[in-house]
Amino acid sequence: MPSVPSAPNDSLVKVSNLSFAYDRRPVLSGINMEIPRGKVVAIMGASGCGKTTTLRLIGGQIKPTSGEVRVDGQVVHRLNSDALYQLRRRMGMLFQFGALFTDMSVFDNVAFQMREHTDFPEELINDLVLMKLHAVGLRGAHELMPSELSGGMARRVALARAIALDPMLMMYDEPFAGLDPISLAIVGELIRKLNDALGASSIIVTHDVQESLKIVDYVYFVSAGKVVAEGTPDEIKASKAEYVHQFVWGEADGAVPFHYPAAQPYGEEIMAHAAEVSNRG
């Protein structure tokens, strides 16, 4: 399979032989990934394949069963609490559906990290918050409450909050979920433009294949806890791998079958049932 070209300092995130299990249930089995600096990389796959777990391992929320994750040269699971806290300050996270603080205004949602993690005066925070909101097109909505926002607007506010401290790494967990086509296109364009403007790296966990392939530089496909395919958007679109082709083109049947496995063929089961009913008569 093709791989992302890398030099010693080229990859911001390097995942090496990473495995993870909840108790005895394996979730990831020896995966390898690299997230180059300045690039946008997607992790795709069916629900339950380990995509969000990978994000949690990168962020240090959980520790691997084996293998390691390096972020900016640091092995995440070996960091003490203070060092992990410092590393997380350089990461931004856009949660599925935004996860805004419902009792805070749009302005205060974006200002939250600045007030928690910096000693900036309120005058500077005011200017920075309006700048972040302007970048996502919502400076004029700074006084609104989350309940007054549409789904697409809420997602953009969450994005402004995630980039509040100019992170080196952005992680997106299903950023397109539940959005209408216009909002989806806007959020996709913002992810790409903000990544390039910040000089950051971005990881997108998503099911939205077509929108993601427009904005990402590289794709990893995960199935049953393993990387089963990887490549550029053009390589993924042209892939002959049965699972990848089915996923990209949204086919109902293929490597992932439409029918759940049954003990015997449908016709045989019906005939056997009919014979049983007949014998009873």
Distance (Å) of CA 72 to CA 58, 75, 147: 11, 9, 38
The pLDDT of residue 225 is 85
**Location of each CATH 3.40.50.300 domain in the chain:** 11-90+167-280
Write down the pLDDT at residue 251.
66
pLDDT tens readout for residues 172-230: 988 888 888 888 888 889 999 999 988 899 999 988 888 888 899 999 988 888 898 89
CA 31 – CA 20 distance, rounded (Å): 10
The two structure tokens encoding residue 213? 């392939």
Contact present, 237 and 42 (Cβ < 8 Å): no
Distances (CA, A) of 136 to 98, 128, 192, 278: 14, 13, 12, 69
Residue 160 DSSP SS3: helix
> How deeply is 154 buried, as exposed, middle or buried, from its count of CB atoms within 10 A (0-12, 13-18, 19+)?
buried
By C-alpha distance, which of 43, 54, 62 is closest to 15? 54
pLDDT at position 187 is 87
CATH code of the domain occupying 11-90+167-280: 3.40.50.300
Residue bearing tokens 């997602």: 155
Run means of pLDDT, 10 residues per run, the chain, 281 residues: 47 93 86 94 84 91 92 93 90 79 92 89 94 92 92 89 91 86 88 90 88 91 87 86 74 61 77 78 62
| Spatial CA neighbour of 50 closest among 222, 246, 173, 207 | 222
pLDDT at 260: 66
Residue 34 β-bridge partners = 14
pLDDT of res. 171: 93
252 vs 87: CA distance, rounded Å: 42
State pTM to two decimals: 0.81
Specify the pairing of strand 201-205 against strand 40-44. Answer: parallel
